[in-house]
Structure formats: structure tokens, C-alpha cells
Amino acid sequence: MRSRLSPLRLATAGVVLLVVVLVVLVTRQSDKFLEVPDPAHSLTGLVKVPGGMRHQDGGGIYYVDVVVKRASLLEASFSLFRPDGSDLIQQNAFVPRGITYQQQLKLEGETMKASQAKASVVALRALGFKVRARAAGVRVVDVDPRSHARGLLKPQDVVISADGRPIQRQLDLFRVLSQHRIGDVVRIGIRRGATRRTFRIRTIADETDPHRAIVGFIPFEVIEARLPFRIAFNLKDVGGPSAGLAFALEVLEQRGRDVDHGLKVAATGEIQLDGSVTRIGGVKQKTIGARQAHVDAFLVPADGDNAKVAKRYAHGLRIIPVKTFQQALQSLATLRAKA
């Protein structure tokens, strides 16, 4: 004798199954990431310049960022469930092949520190200070588990020579390694605090290019600058280079230059030691974030397609493309102040 499931039991089973599927889709992470807009943030209180003062005119300098998080299976499968203005991206668009997610976060942190150093140099030079700054080696962010450098190199070591040749920039190191085959031994000179050491390290194959010899560590530029005073930045977990332009503008504002002219000004762009402003990522989300903060103008790099993308999502927000820090200052000087 066979018992038949009643329609009610079938419906109940279907609902239970649907709930289980939804729970899995919501709680399980996919292998993709979401770039999500975040309202622009005022730099008031986040940058502290000795002897600094602010104009009490209602204006301010704002930085913009993008929230990057792993997408749930539900968000990855259905665009309807993604936050407004967000984009789904492949993992390798945020985490380059050959490094881990945690290593990428460390790299983002180092990039932020370099951005702050460059912004300080550019801003103080614009104020008339004579500031000496130069590229001063390649910092070890992390060491590849496959590398023969494990146990020799440590995070925060600074590579200053390779095969006896001085290393100032990553390109210098790449040029030396390009003359080596996989398995060759290269002499790496480092600065660790106040001490200097030299190691003989056998090269390994680059995972992204099996024919290229590498030492096997994540490198990052070191900026050595002699500032007349220390400028403090407190952005906590924010990483990346894109706040450089905003930082430099804020330093000038605090040192008595009326940069914003009573307006709320958002800015994004990687700033270089020569004052040039170079392209950044996440422009769509950053433009939306600037709009959400109701700023009066948004400065973006003219480099690449940054300005084009920003104008596409401006929806009435004034977009000001800039190539250099001086051009940014000149553009802001022409903005009409609030009545």
C-alpha cells in the first residue's frame, strides 16, 4: 500500500526547499566581488596639519572611496539583489593573480601611505616650502610561500640593491631580474631598520609568466621625503592611492589657503611627486558617492577615461577634469562661491 503526499505537504516541502536555497544563496560567498558606492567623506578631522586652521565658510574638501566586498551567491547570480550603482567584478580585477586577498589588502595599505607622502610633498611645495623627496628603494610587502626568500626577507625590508646595482624603483629591480633565468641566484641587498644585509636568493618562475624569473615577494615603492613638519592622516581601514589629490588640497586649506571658496569639493586622483594627477579605478561608484554627499563639484583625473565615465554618471554634478595639482587649484579659483 502506497501513501500519497497531500497537496499541502507538497507545498510545504516546496517552501522549505525554497527557503534552504535562499539561505544558501544569501549566506554563501561567491568568487566574485562587488564595487559599491560610498558617500563622499569630509576630510575635516582626518588630516591634521601643525598650525592648521580652517575657513568657517561652510565649504570643505571631501574624499571618495569604493566599498569592495565579496558578492554573495545571490548577488552574483541576480543583479536585482545588488546595491544600487554597484558593479560585479571578477576576483582578478581586484586581486591580481599570484597574490592572496589578504596580501592585496596589505598592498592597498602601503599604497595609501605612499599617497599620503606624495600629497604632503606636493602640497608643501605649493606653499613655498623646499621639500626634498625621492624614490628610495623597494619595500617588501609580503613574501611568496614558494619563494627561496622565505626566512630571509621580511615584510617592511627595503631592497636597495640587486647584483650590486642600486635599486631606487621597481623598474630597477625588474631590469636586473630580466637578465636572470629561473633558478639563477641573485644578490639582494636590503635595509632593515638601521642595519644592512645582503642575501643570495635563487629565483623562481612568475605564476603569471612561467618564463620570467622573480625573487618572489610583493614589491612596493618607497618614498623618502624630508618634511618641515609631520602631517597626520587618520583614515583607518581605507586603502589605495586615489585620495592623493584630496589630501593635497586639504593640506593647503588647513595652512590658510582658501582652496574650496566656501564650496563642498570632492576630489579623486593619484598624485605623483611632480604634481601630476593620474587615473584611478571605481570612477562610476565614486561619482555616485560624490552625488550622494551633495557636493558642489567633483575633481577627477583627465588621464585615461576617468573624466568621461564621471560625466556619464554625474547627473547634474559639476565634473572638473584635471591633469596636475596646479590645474586643480586654478580650476577651483574660478568656481563661484556661494552667496
Give tens-digit pLDDT for 100-135.
Answer: 778 788 888 888 989 999 999 999 999 999 999 988
Please tell me whether residues 218 and 243 are part of one structural domain. no
Please tell me whether residues 271 and 191 are part of one structural domain. no
Residue 18 has what pLDDT?
65
Residue 98 has what pLDDT?
67
Q: Contact, 188 vs 199, CB < 8 A?
A: yes
Nearest to 329 by CA among 233, 232, 261: 261
pTM for the model: 0.82
Higher-confidence residue of 275 and 30: namely 275
Domain boundary among 203, 224, 245: 224
Does position 245 have pLDDT exceeding 50, yes or no? yes
Nearest to 31 by CA among 79, 81, 89: 89
Distance of alpha carbon 64 from its chain centroid, rounded? 11
In a domain, 268, yes or no: yes
C-alpha cell at 19: 527557503
Residue 121 has what pLDDT?
96
Residue 129 has what pLDDT?
94
In a domain, 9, yes or no: no
Please tell me whether residues 237 and 326 are part of one structural domain. yes
What is the C-alpha separation between 286 and 59, in angstroms, rounded?
19
Residue 235 has what pLDDT?
83
Residue 5 has what pLDDT?
60
Q: Phi first, then psi: what are they for 214, rounded to 5°?
A: -135, 160
Averaged pLDDT for residues 144-163: 94
Averaged pLDDT for residues 30-46: 92
Does position 339 have pLDDT exceeding 50, yes or no? no
- With cut-offs at 50, 70 and 90, classify the pLDDT of residue 16: low
Domain boundary among 224, 245, 275: 224
Please tell me whether residues 168 and 204 are part of one structural domain. yes
Count of structural domains, the chain: 2
Residue 24 has what pLDDT?
55
Please tell me whether residues 218 and 239 are part of one structural domain. no
The CATH number linked to 307 is 3.30.230
Does position 1 have pLDDT exceeding 50, yes or no? no
Averaged pLDDT for residues 299-326: 96
- Amino acid at position 140, single letter: V
Least confident of 87-91, 97-101, 271-275, 310-314: 97-101
Does position 337 have pLDDT exceeding 70, yes or no? no
The residue range of the domain holding 158 is 132-224
Domain boundary among 205, 224, 243: 224
In a domain, 21, yes or no: no
**For 207-226, what is each residue's pLDDT tens digit?**
888 899 999 998 988 889 99
What is the C-alpha separation between 173 and 224, in angstroms, rounded?
18
Averaged pLDDT for residues 55-81: 87
**For 250-301, what is each residue's pLDDT tens digit?**
999 999 899 998 999 999 999 999 999 999 999 999 999 999 999 999 999 9
Least confident of 6-20, 27-41, 269-283: 6-20
What is the C-alpha separation between 333 and 44, in angstroms, rounded?
21
Report which secondary-structure segment, H or E, holds 96.
Answer: none
What is the C-alpha separation between 301 and 268, in angstroms, rounded?
7
